[in-house]
Structure 1
Amino acid sequence: MAEMSRHNGRRLRRPMSQINVVPFIDVMLVLLIIFMITAPMLQQGVEVDLPEAEAQALETDQRAAEPIVVTVTAAGALSVNQGPLANEPLAGPQLVELVTDLLVANPGIQTYVRGDRHVDYGRVMDAMVALQRAGAGRVGLLTEPPPREVD
């Protein structure tokens, strides 16, 4: 029996069949921390001060694609919430081209305009006309509900 465990005067070593998972766990924890820090930064958008209006909320289909929202900032800059130039300032022709591509990719998608309350009304109309040129059939306006009075 002693002869079986020795080979040419040396002892045979069995290979270890265990995997060391500690480095894997360390890497996963670092990735978790990185994602926790960067996730809020990914939810970027263009900040606008929406006008308040007592309007009925629109019913949305949860299965439908995210609507196209064109934002008009107080300075009059136009941007769209989707596509390769999401939330970047766009000129009128760029906006029409980008929205056209989005509408071709998702026919029937809803379109809205978010206009800052301090922007010239004509600039909001420019955004609506750009959406119609791109092929949007119906364009909605987004507002904020007024604050509720507490009794």
Structure 2
Amino acid sequence: MPAMVSRGRGRRTINEINMVPFIDVMLVLLIIFMVTAPLITPSNIDLPSVGKASKQPDRVVQVVIGKDEKLELRRPGKPEETQSIHQAGLVAAVRQAQDGDDNNPVVISADRNVKYESVVKVMDALQRAGIKRVGLSVQLAP
């Protein structure tokens, strides 16, 4: 019997990069970011001030939201007289202050330290009641 000579190539080196560990690491990082993203506290937002505002109408119903989130109503023509109101009686008080004229605008003046949620609640209540002209009071930039 002739001697068998094996020409086996032996172990061949792989010239490709194995992507499976890379994909595993990326998926773990993605999960970590997804879990921690809701826990990050939002940064403070510096809201822009208004450089030029239009002239305020003469007969304005003003809803004032104080620091303690208490509501006050100022009637048109009598800005020095304020009436304390509750959230439940807001719409009725505004309708009464408008004297049946739906074109009287309602301006919401909120303290700088009031939560945004309180302002949105007032705006939402007025909008649901069908009050058309609702605006926000702003401070002019120096």
CA contact under 8 A between 2:103 and 2:133: conserved in structure 1? no
Give the equivalent residue in structure 1 for 2:106.
Answer: 111
Give the equivalent residue in structure 1 for 2:89.
Answer: 94
- Structure 1 119/60 Cα, relative in aligned 2: closer, same or farther at 3 Å? closer
Match of 2:50 among 47, 54, 63: 54
SS of equivalent residue, structure 1 residue 71: strand
User: Aligned partners of 2:111 and 2:135: how far apart in 1?
Assistant: 14
CA contact under 8 A between 2:66 and 2:110: conserved in structure 1? yes
Give the equivalent residue in structure 1 for 2:36.
Answer: none
- Identical aligned residues as a percent: 25
Give, in angstroms, the shift of residue 68 of structure 1: 0.8
User: Aligned partners of 1:136 and 1:55: how far apart in 2?
Assistant: 28
- How many residue pairs match? The answer is 92
Alignment of 1:40-79 (within 5 A): 53-60=49-56, 66-79=59-72
- TM-score, normalising length from structure 2? 0.55
CA contact under 8 A between 1:79 and 1:89: conserved in structure 2? yes
As a proportion of its length, which structure holds more strand?
Answer: 2
- TM-score, normalising length from structure 1? 0.52
- For the aligned residue pairs, the C-alpha RMSD in angstroms reads 2.4
- Structure 1 82/60 Cα, relative in aligned 2: closer, same or farther at 3 Å? closer
Give the equivalent residue in structure 2 for 1:82.
Answer: 75
User: Aligned partners of 1:94 and 1:142: how far apart in 2?
Assistant: 21
Structure having the higher Rg: 2
- Structure 1 117/96 Cα, relative in aligned 2: closer, same or farther at 3 Å? same
SS of equivalent residue, structure 2 residue 83: coil
Give the equivalent residue in structure 2 for 1:141.
Answer: 136
CA contact under 8 A between 2:104 and 2:133: conserved in structure 1? no
The one-letter code sitting in structure 2 at the alignment partner of 1:108 is: N
Give the equivalent residue in structure 1 for 2:39.
Answer: none
User: Aligned partners of 1:133 and 1:97: how far apart in 2?
Assistant: 12
Structure 2: gaps of 5 or more residues: 1-46
CA contact under 8 A between 1:53 and 1:145: conserved in structure 2? yes
Give the equivalent residue in structure 2 for 1:46.
Answer: none
